A and B are shown apart, each in its own frame.
Chain A
Amino acid sequence: MSSSLESLVTSLVPQSRQDATLRKELVSHCQEILSSHIGQSTDNDIGHLADIAKRTLLQSAPDGTTALRFTNLLSRLLDQPILSRKHASLQFLHALSLSPRMSSISPAFLPSLAPPPPPSRPPTTTPTPVDSGPPAKLPRGKSKAELLREYRNKIGRPHLPEHLILRDTLYLLQGISGKYVHFSASRDPNGNNELVFTDDPTYVISRPTKALVHRLAEVGHLYIRVDAFVREREGKTGVGMIEQSLCHHLQTQLTEYYRLIAVLESQMASHTSGDDPPGQSSTEVREETGLTLKRLDVWIEDWKLRMRMMSVCVEGAKGAHGGALVNLIHGYADNGDPFIRKFTDQLLEEVSKPFFAALHKWLFSGELVDPFSEFFVAVDPELAHLQYGQPANDGIGASGGDGGFGGFGDNEDMSVEREAGLRLWESKYRFQKDMLPAFVGEVFGRKIFSTGKSLNFIRYTCHDSDWVATQEKLSNSSGTLRYTDIAGLERSIDTAYQIASQRLFEVFFEKYRLLDHLQALNHYLLLGYGDFIDQLMEALSSSLSKPANTLYRHNLTATLESAIRSSNAQNDSPDVLRRLDARMLEYSHGEIGWDVFTLEYKVDSPIDTVIDSEAMVKYLKLFNHMWKIKRIEGTLTKGWMRLAGGSRTFLQVPELDFDWHQIRIVMAEMIHFIRQMGAYCQLEVIECSWKILLEFIQKREGDLDALIEAHGAYLDRMVKKVLLLSPKAGREENLLNQVRDVFAIILQFREATDDFYNYCLSEAARRDSEHDAARGVFTGIPASGSNRHDPEAVHDILTRVREYGTSFSERVQAIVQALSTHTDLDCRFLAIRLSFSDFYKTRKEPQKS
C-alpha cells in the first residue's frame, strides 16, 4: 500500500526522487487524504457511472464518436474477469477526468443522504487552496432570509436550529420523546398519543417546521403501536401460532426500521458533530448536512406506508384470531398499489405459514394440529377422546363363526356404540366458515374439511392408520403448501380429496362390506327374500296371534333360525346372518304378537356411520308396514283357499250360496287391494330406490357425507312412498292411517267370514246327519236340540260380514281418491293400479246420481 503510494509519488512528482524528506512528507499527506472520508458514498451502479461519463464525453465531443468508443471499451472492460472493482476503477478515472477541466458538475447522485462532496473540493487540510469548491460565498449583500434571521436574533426569539429539532425528530421516530417535542398521553380514549411542542422562551419553532415534524411523527406514533403490540404478544402465553408469526414478521420489519434509523442517526452525527454551537448555523453547514427534516421526510416516506399497513394489521389483529386474521390481511392484498400489494403478500406468506402447516397435516394425515384453535376446522372437545375409546376388537368379521344371534352381548352397550358412529363423523369436527382464509375459497374449504375428516375417520374409526401414514409420506415428497402457490394448493387439495374419498369408499365397501349389509337390510327388513319371509310367517303365525306378553324372545330367535335354515337365506354369509335378530317392541296391554314382532339387523362401527340408529328406526318402520301387508296377504290367501275349497265340497247350504258369492266378491276385491299394495311397495318403490342407490355406489364419487346422504335419500324415498306420506304438515299420516284401518277391517272381515264358515260347516254337518237319520243310517250322536238352524245367528253374522265388506269398499274408495290427488307421482300410479278398470270410479258415480 505505502510502496505503491510511494511509486505514485515518485512518478508524479519527479522532484521527490531525489528528495527523501519531500517524498516522505508527500506520502504521509497522501495517506491522510486516503484515510479521510472523501467520497464515502459508494455508488455501485456501474451503468449510472457510465451514463455520467458518457454525458461528459458528449459535452466535450458532440459528434458522439468518443462516446461510442467509450461504450465499446466499457463493454470490453466488463468482459474482463480480472478486476473485481470495475466500478471503482471507472469512478476513479471519471473523477480524474473531471478535475482538469474543473467543471463544477458534481456527479448528481440521486437524492442520497450524503451527496459525495465534489471531488474537486480540497480537503480542509490542503496546504494549497487553489481553485476549488463551489463558487464560494455569495455576494455579500444580505438576503431577506438573513435579515429576518438577524432580526429574530435581535429580538431574542430565534428559530430553533434544525439539527436540534432533527435530533428530536429522530427520537420521535423511535417513539421517544425529545427535548423540544414530546409525546404526551392525551385524553383520547383510544390511548393515542398527542404531539406536544415544548414551550421554550428562547426559541421559536416555525409553523412549517411544526407541520413537518407532525408528519414525521406519525411514523413514530405508528411505531409505538406496532411495537407495543409485539411486546404485548411476546410476554403473553397462549398466543396463537398465526399471531406469533405475525409478530415475528413485524419484528423483522421493525429491525429493518431500526437499521434505517441507525443509518439516519449516523448521518446526522457525522455531519453535525463538527458543527458549531447552535446559534451560528451557517447556510453552508445547512446545505452540506446530509440530513434535513425534508430529506428525512423523503426517506421516511416509504416507511410511513409500511408502518400504516402494519398498524392496520395490528389493529385488526386485536379482534381477529387465527384464520380470520389471515383473512383480514388477505383483504389488503387486493390493492392497486404495488407497494402495498407486495408488502401484504410478504406478510401473508409469513403469517400463513402456520396455517399451511396445519393444513398440510390435516389434508394429508387427517390430524388436527392446532393448539390454539386457529384452523378453520374445530374439534369437539367432548368427542375428541372417542377416537381412541373404541375397542379395536369389537368383533368385526372376526367372530363370525359363532353364527348365533345372541353374540352381541348386552344391548345397551351396542346402542351407545351405535350412537357414536354417526355422531363421531358428524360432530367431531366442525367447519368454521369465518376462520377460513379467503384465498382458499369455500368450496375448497369444504373439500379440505371433508378430506381431513375422511382421513381421520379411516385412521381412527376404521383402524387403517397404516394406509394414512403411507399417504402422508407420499404427500411429503410432493412439496409443501404455500400461499404464493395457490394453483398448486388447489391441485393438491383436489388430489388429496380424491384419494381420501376413494379410499374411504374402498374401506367401506371392501373391508367392511357395506354393500352386503345394505343388501341384507333390503332382503330381510324390506322382505326381499320372499321364501324366507313366508317360512318365518308360517312358523310364527300361530304364536304371534297370542297376546304379546306370552311371547318369549328365545322362541322367536329359534323360529327365526329355523326359518333361515329352511329357506334360501342360509346361503348368506354368517357375518350377515348373525346380525339378524328377532325381538319384540315395547308392548302394551292387549296387543298381540303381530303388533309387536319385529326383525332387527345389527350394525356396528364404522358401518353405523352410514346406517345409523335413525336409519334403523326407519327400516323398522318400513318392515312393520311391509310385514303387515304380508300378514294380511297371507291371511286372505288362506281364507280364500279354505273358502273356495270348502264351498264346493262340504258347505252345502243352498240358501246361503248367494251370501257366499257376495263374500267371495268382497274377498277378491281385498286380495286385489293387498296384492297391488304389496307389488307397489316392492316393485315401484323399493326396487327403484335400490337401483338409484346402487348407481350412486358404483359411481364412487364424493365422500362419506355424500354416501350418508345417498343412503338417507334412499331411505327417505322409501319411507315416504311406502307409507304414502303426504307432504302436508299435520296430515302426513292420514292415508297411512286409512290404509291401516283397511287392514284392520280386512282382518275383522276375515274373522267374520270364519264365523260364517264355521256356522255353515256345522249347519251342513247337521243337515248331513239329519239326512242320514232320515235314511236310517246312524252316523254318530244325534245333535242336541239347541244346535238347530238358527236364522237369528246367521243373520247376525251376515250383517257383520256385509258391514265390513261395505266399509272396506268405502275406505278403499276414499284411499283411491286421496291417492289420485297425491303429490307424489308414484302414489298416483298406485291409485291407478288399484282402480285400473275404473272400478272405484264407476261405483262412485251411481252413488252420486
Chain B
Amino acid sequence: MSSRESDRITAAQQTLDVLYDISQLLNTGLDKETLATCVGMIESGVNPEALAAVIQELRRESQALSGRPTTNGR
C-alpha cells in the first residue's frame, strides 16, 4: 500500500517537473508551487482559460499595489 502511495507521489512529482519545464519553456513565469496549485485546480475542473485570466488579473493587481505606496495607512 505504502509503496503504491510512494509510486504515486513520485509520479506526481515527475508530472509536475515536466509541467514546470513546459511552463518555463513557454515563459509563463509561474513558480513551481503556484503551478502545482493551478494544476490541482484544473484537475478539479476549473476552466483553464478562466484560471489563466485569474493569474493575469492577480499579477496585474500585485503590480498595481506595488506600484503605489500602501494606501491603507500602514
B34 touches A92 (CB 8 A): no
Give chain A residues whose Cβ lies under 8 Å from the Cβ of B52: 92, 95-96, 99, 119
Query: Distance (Å) between the CB of A197 and the closest chain B CB?
Result: 41
- Give the complex CA separation of A70 and B27 in angstroms: 12
Knowing A70-B22, A94-B26, A97-B26 are in contact, say whether A8-B48 is a contact too (CB < 8 A): no
A73 at the A/B interface (Cβ < 8 Å)? Answer: yes
- 18 A-B Cβ contacts within 8 A? A8-B34, A8-B41, A15-B62, A15-B65, A26-B58, A33-B54, A34-B50, A38-B47, A56-B26, A60-B27, A77-B15, A77-B19, A80-B11, A82-B11, A88-B48, A90-B22, A93-B26, A93-B28
A85 touches B34 (CB 8 A): no
- Give the complex CA separation of A18 and B49 in angstroms: 29
Task: Select from chain A the residue with minimum beta-carbon distance to B26.
Answer: A97
A14 at the A/B interface (Cβ < 8 Å)? Answer: yes
The A38-92 residues at the B interface (CB cut-off 8 A) are: 38-40, 53, 56-57, 60, 66, 69-70, 73-74, 76-77, 80-85, 88-92
Task: Select from chain B the residue with minimum beta-carbon distance to A39.
Answer: B49
- Give the complex CA separation of A22 and B61 in angstroms: 10
A1 at the A/B interface (Cβ < 8 Å)? Answer: yes
A33 touches B53 (CB 8 A): yes
Task: Select from chain A the residue with minimum beta-carbon distance to B12.
Answer: A82
Knowing A12-B34, A97-B27 are in contact, say whether A126-B47 is a contact too (CB < 8 A): no
The A278-330 residues at the B interface (CB cut-off 8 A) are: none
Chain B interface SS verdict (over half): helix
With A5-B54, A13-B62, A39-B50 given, can you name 7 additional A-B contacts, CB distance below 8 Å? A18-B74, A34-B50, A83-B15, A88-B47, A91-B48, A95-B48, A128-B61
Give chain A residues whose Cβ lies under 8 Å from the Cβ of B55: 8, 12, 96
A130 touches B60 (CB 8 A): yes
Task: Select from chain B the residue with minimum beta-carbon distance to A81.
Answer: B11
Query: Distance (Å) between the CB of A128 and the closest chain B CB?
Result: 6
Knowing A33-B50, A80-B15, A95-B52 are in contact, say whether A4-B40 is a contact too (CB < 8 A): yes
Knowing A13-B62, A85-B42 are in contact, say whether A77-B49 is a contact too (CB < 8 A): no
- Give the complex CA separation of A73 and B40 in angstroms: 19
A57 touches B62 (CB 8 A): no
Give chain B residues whose Cβ lies under 8 Å from the Cβ of A12: 34, 55, 58-59, 61-62
A93 touches B11 (CB 8 A): no
Give chain A residues whose Cβ lies under 8 Å from the Cβ of B19: 77, 89, 93
Give chain B residues whose Cβ lies under 8 Å from the Cβ of A95: 48-49, 52-53
Interface of B toward A, CB cutoff 8 Å: 8, 11-12, 14-15, 18-19, 21-23, 25-31, 33-34, 37-44, 46-62, 64-66, 70, 72, 74
The A89-134 residues at the B interface (CB cut-off 8 A) are: 89-97, 99-100, 116, 119, 123, 126, 128, 130
Give chain B residues whose Cβ lies under 8 Å from the Cβ of A130: 60
Give chain A residues whose Cβ lies under 8 Å from the Cβ of B64: 128
- Give the complex CA separation of A128 and B60 in angstroms: 9
B58 touches A93 (CB 8 A): no
A residues contacting the other copy or chain, number (CB 8 A): 58
Give chain A residues whose Cβ lies under 8 Å from the Cβ of B25: 57, 66, 69-70, 73
B49 touches A119 (CB 8 A): yes
Give chain B residues whose Cβ lies under 8 Å from the Cβ of A53: 26
1/0 contact string of A382-423 vs chain B (CB within 8 Å): 000000000000000000000000000000000000000000
Task: Select from chain B the residue with minimum beta-carbon distance to A121.
Answer: B53
A210 at the A/B interface (Cβ < 8 Å)? Answer: no
Query: Distance (Å) between the CB of A114 and the closest chain B CB?
Result: 13
- Give the complex CA separation of A97 and B14 in angstroms: 21
A19 touches B72 (CB 8 A): yes
- Give the complex CA separation of A93 and B72 in angstroms: 34
A9 at the A/B interface (Cβ < 8 Å)? Answer: yes
- Give the complex CA separation of A38 and B55 in angstroms: 14
Which of A80, A92, A123 is the one whose CB lies under 8 Å from B14? A80
- Give the complex CA separation of A15 and B53 in angstroms: 20
- Give the complex CA separation of A89 and B23 in angstroms: 10
- Give the complex CA separation of A130 and B53 in angstroms: 13
A99 touches B49 (CB 8 A): no
A100 touches B29 (CB 8 A): yes
- Give the complex CA separation of A520 and B58 in angstroms: 108
A29 at the A/B interface (Cβ < 8 Å)? Answer: yes
A7 at the A/B interface (Cβ < 8 Å)? Answer: yes
1/0 contact string of A438-475 vs chain B (CB within 8 Å): 00000000000000000000000000000000000000
- Give the complex CA separation of A82 and B49 in angstroms: 21
Which of B33, B43, B53, B58 is the one whose CB lies under 8 Å from A119? B53
A1 touches B34 (CB 8 A): no
Task: Select from chain B the residue with minimum beta-carbon distance to A61.
Answer: B25
Query: Distance (Å) between the CB of A1 and the closest chain B CB?
Result: 7
Give chain A residues whose Cβ lies under 8 Å from the Cβ of B37: 4, 7-8, 11
Which of B34, B46, B56, B61 is the one whose CB lies under 8 Å from A34? B46
A96 touches B56 (CB 8 A): yes
Which of B14, B27, B41, B58 is the one whose CB lies under 8 Å from A100? B27
A697 at the A/B interface (Cβ < 8 Å)? Answer: no
Which of A56, A73, A116 is the one whose CB lies under 8 Å from B22? A73
The 6 closest A-B pairs by CB, nearest first: A39-B49, A97-B26, A92-B48, A95-B52, A13-B62, A96-B28
B8 touches A82 (CB 8 A): yes
A571 at the A/B interface (Cβ < 8 Å)? Answer: no
- Give the complex CA separation of A143 and B12 in angstroms: 57
A83 touches B53 (CB 8 A): no
- Give the complex CA separation of A245 and B31 in angstroms: 60
- Give the complex CA separation of A4 and B5 in angstroms: 23
B15 touches A96 (CB 8 A): no
Give chain B residues whose Cβ lies under 8 Å from the Cβ of A66: 25
Give chain A residues whose Cβ lies under 8 Å from the Cβ of B72: 19
- Give the complex CA separation of A74 and B56 in angstroms: 24
- Give the complex CA separation of A119 and B52 in angstroms: 8
B22 touches A80 (CB 8 A): no
Which of B21, B33, B49, B57 is the one whose CB lies under 8 Å from A30? B57
